[in-house]
């Protein structure tokens, strides 16, 4: 399967990380299930994917609210990240996106715009030797309003010195596509794992 890009030219590519550059969503889900089981908290797979792009702290808070729990946000995040790092040797890049990274690397600047922590994004990209391809990383904690708010994408464009209208966003979630549109950027949707077979 090939990704069909909107008509360019584009001055920069902005990539979500999980589920877009790296096929990490199944591994993140395993880590979530393990940590949440310790708190008798359930997290249905479809809900997990529908919340894609939501910062980790927000996910814990939402699960607490929905299930009447009082899980410690920082503790759950830390444990979940540790479990994810243990799974990193299984991580693979998404070939349909890598094709565009390879084709344009060195020609235009790239940024990562993620709801994940900087530690998690760096670990994922580092494990695949991709970290040096990106001029800047915009991660959870770098912005106040998460996707679908355009703040994170606008921050990445400003850091790259490229007008929002000249940026192309690669995203796997509806929240991310909405954020790109709100930022005045063209976007391409990366299909979920079960559609890429």
The confidence score (pLDDT) of residue 197 equals 65
Q: Which residues belong to the active site? A: 16
What digits encode the pLDDT tens for the residues 146-175? 999 999 999 999 999 999 999 999 999 999
Q: Domain 25-89 maps to which CATH number in 1.10.3470, 1.10.8, 1.20.120, 1.10.150? A: 1.10.150
Q: CATH topology for 12-24+92-195?
A: Rossmann fold (3.40.50)
Average pLDDT of the segment spanning 51-65: 91
Q: Which two tokens stand for residue 172?
A: 């796997």
Q: Which two tokens stand for residue 119?
A: 């530690």
Domain chopping of the chain, boundaries: 12-24+92-195, 25-89
Q: What is the mean pLDDT of the chain?
A: 95
Name the residue with tokens 């990539």. Answer: 15
Spatial CA neighbour of 73 closest among 86, 84, 51, 58? 58
Residues paired with 12 in a beta bridge: 167
Examine the pLDDT at 1 and tell me if it is beyond 80.
no
The confidence score (pLDDT) of residue 114 equals 94
Report phi then psi at 105, rounded to 5: -60, 130
The model's pTM is: 0.91
């Amino acid at each position: 399967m090939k990704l069909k890009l909107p008509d360019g030219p584009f001055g920069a590519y902005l990539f979500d990380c999980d589920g877009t550059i790296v096929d990490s969503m199944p591994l993140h889900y395993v880590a979530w299930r393990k940590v949440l089981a310790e708190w008798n908290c359930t997290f249905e797979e479809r809900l997990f994917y529908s919340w894609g792009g939501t910062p980790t702290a927000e996910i814990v808070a939402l699960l607490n609210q929905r299930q009447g729990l009082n899980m410690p946000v920082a503790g759950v995040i830390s444990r979940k990240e540790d479990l994810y790092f243990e799974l990193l040797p299984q991580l693979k890049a998404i070939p349909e996106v890598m094709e565009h990274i390879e084709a344009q690397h060195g020609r235009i600047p790239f940024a990562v715009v993620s709801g994940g922590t900087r530690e998690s994004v760096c670990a994922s990209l580092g494990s695949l030797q991709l970290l040096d391809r990106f001029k800047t990383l915009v991660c959870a904690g770098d912005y106040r309003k998460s996707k679908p708010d355009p703040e994170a994408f606008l921050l990445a464009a400003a850091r790259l010195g490229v007008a929002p209208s000249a940026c192309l966003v690669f995203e796997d979630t509806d929240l991310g596509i909405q954020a790109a549109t709100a930022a005045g950027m063209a976007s391409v949707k990366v299909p979920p794992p079960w559609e890429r077979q």
